[in-house]
């Protein structure tokens, strides 16, 4: 059962201009998406730069004003009162940022950084708080004395782990992770990804995992949504998306991933060219007359695709 429902969520940014600096147009950064999030699952959100991934994450976090649509949390509409200090939603939904360095206050010690959500949402004595922080440091594999250090004393991967420690401090139900490993080297990335999976098991957490790296997404996610121009073009299980992509945009993204298979690179290249050609020729029929992505339609229980007529997609 899902505990969080995103219904037809929209975020339109006004563009101001003209003599009176009035609103002359809008950027439809997020233009009607639906998602339902279940316990203990990881949901991938992928798409090219500017497609609206971060806007989605921020809207869910209440960091961006919602133009339209609803967020239903455990049966209650929370869209209007997300940022309230005492709201359980605010405690239960946390975020990990792409850039660990700028998301940790350089002037604060690790102890105070991690304690921030605890102090916001829970009433713990100093001893209890310290105990919790030591637990958290242990979970993220950092030594006790890290507590008294400052962020600049840690490597990129370690900082990202501190970000995770802060995010899980109040035992949230959902963590929105916006490109959590994009800035990290391969081996550090591996460390953070392993670790995100470990704490998921430990706490039964759900993730909304935002990334443009389809390899990482495939490794991490149970369910994947592909985003384009503020809308979802396709969503389904990992198998649906990678083994049976239906939308030309999804096919194109998958074909573009470099593969580690040196013997067959000519084959990949030919395949990529073929998909690219198909994209160029048939692009129009995949979007409506205004270039807008169609509404998602169900192909199977899990697999949804935004096509005008569902038959178009078959190969």
> Hey, how many other C-beta atoms are within 10 angstroms of the C-beta on 65?
11
In total, the chain counts a number of residues equal to 315
- Output the smallest distance, CB 75 to another protein, in A: 32
Query: Per-residue x/- marks for another protein, 70-109, CB under 8 A?
Result: ----------------------------------------
Nearer to another protein, 169 or 210 (CB): 210
Contacts of 183 (CB under 8 A, 6+ apart): 98, 99, 100, 156
> Which two tokens mark 49?
């730069």
Q: How far apart are CA 165 and CA 146, in angstroms?
A: 12
* Eight-class DSSP state of 287: B
Q: How far apart are CA 67 and CA 12, in angstroms?
A: 6
Q: Is 225 in the site for ligand ATP (CB under 6 A)?
A: no
Q: Is 235 in the site for another protein (CB under 8 A)?
A: no
- Output the smallest distance, CB 157 to ligand ATP, in A: 14
Q: Is 201 in the site for another protein (CB under 8 A)?
A: no
Q: Are strands 22-38 and 174-178 parallel, antiparallel or unpaired?
A: unpaired
Of 31, 32, 37, 53, the one binding ligand ATP by CB under 6 A:
53
Contacts of 9 (CB under 8 A, 6+ apart): 30, 32, 33, 34, 56, 59, 60, 66, 68, 69, 70, 71
Nearer to ligand ATP, 49 or 262 (CB): 49
State which of positions 41-100 bind Mg ion (CB under 5 A): 54
Of 39, 269, 297, 308, the one binding another protein by CB under 8 A:
269
Nearer to ligand ATP, 56 or 191 (CB): 56
Residue nearest to Mg ion (CB): 54
- Output the smallest distance, CB 222 to another protein, in A: 10
For the purposes of burial, counting CB atoms within 10 Å of the CB of 220, is it exposed (0-12), middle (13-18) or buried (19 or more)? buried
Of 26, 171, 272, 292, the one binding another protein by CB under 8 A:
272
Can you give the C-alpha Rg of the chain in angstroms? 21
Q: What are the residues binding ligand ATP (CB under 6 A)?
A: 13, 27, 29, 47, 49-55, 212
Q: What are the residues binding another protein (CB under 8 A)?
A: 48-49, 155-157, 185-187, 189-191, 193-194, 197, 212, 214-216, 218-220, 238, 242, 252-253, 255-263, 265, 268-269, 272
């Amino acid at each position: 059962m899902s505990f969080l429902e995103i219904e037809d969520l929209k975020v339109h940014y006004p563009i101001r201009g003209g003599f009176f600096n009035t609103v002359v147009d809008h950027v439809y950064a997020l233009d009607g998406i639906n998602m339902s999030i279940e316990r203990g699952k990881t949901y991938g959100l992928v798409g090219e730069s500017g497609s609206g991934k971060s806007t989605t994450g921020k809207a869910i976090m209440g960091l961006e004003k919602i133009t339209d649509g609803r967020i239903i949390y455990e049966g209650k509409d929370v869209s209007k009162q997300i940022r309230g200090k005492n709201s359980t939603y605010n405690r239960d939904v946390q975020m990990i940022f792409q850039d660990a360095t700028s998301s940790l206050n350089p002037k604060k010690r690790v102890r105070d950084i991690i304690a921030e959500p605890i102090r916001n949402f829970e009433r713990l004595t100093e001893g209890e708080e310290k105990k919790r922080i030591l637990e958290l440091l242990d979970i993220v594999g950092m030594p006790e004395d890290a507590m008294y250090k400052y962020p600049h004393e840690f490597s990129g991967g370690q900082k990202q782990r501190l970000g995770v420690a802060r995010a899980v401090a109040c035992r949230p139900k959902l963590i929105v992770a916006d490109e959590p490993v994009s800035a990290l080297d391969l081996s550090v990335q591996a460390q953070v990804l392993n670790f995100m999976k470990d704490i998921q098991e430990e706490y039964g957490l759900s993730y909304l995992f935002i990334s443009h790296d389809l390899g990482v997404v495939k490794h991490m996610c149970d369910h994947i949504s592909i985003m384009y121009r503020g809308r979802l073009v396709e969503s389904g299980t990992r198998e649906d998306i990678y083994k049976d992509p239906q939308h030309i945009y999804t096919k194109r993204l998958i074909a573009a991933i470099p593969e580690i298979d040196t013997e067959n690179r000519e084959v990949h290249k030919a395949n990529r060219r073929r998909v690219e050609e198909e994209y160029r020729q048939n692009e129009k029929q995949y979007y409506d007359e205004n270039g807008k992505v169609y509404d998602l339609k169900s192909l199977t229980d899990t697999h949804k695709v935004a096509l005008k007529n569902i038959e178009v997609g078959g190969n």
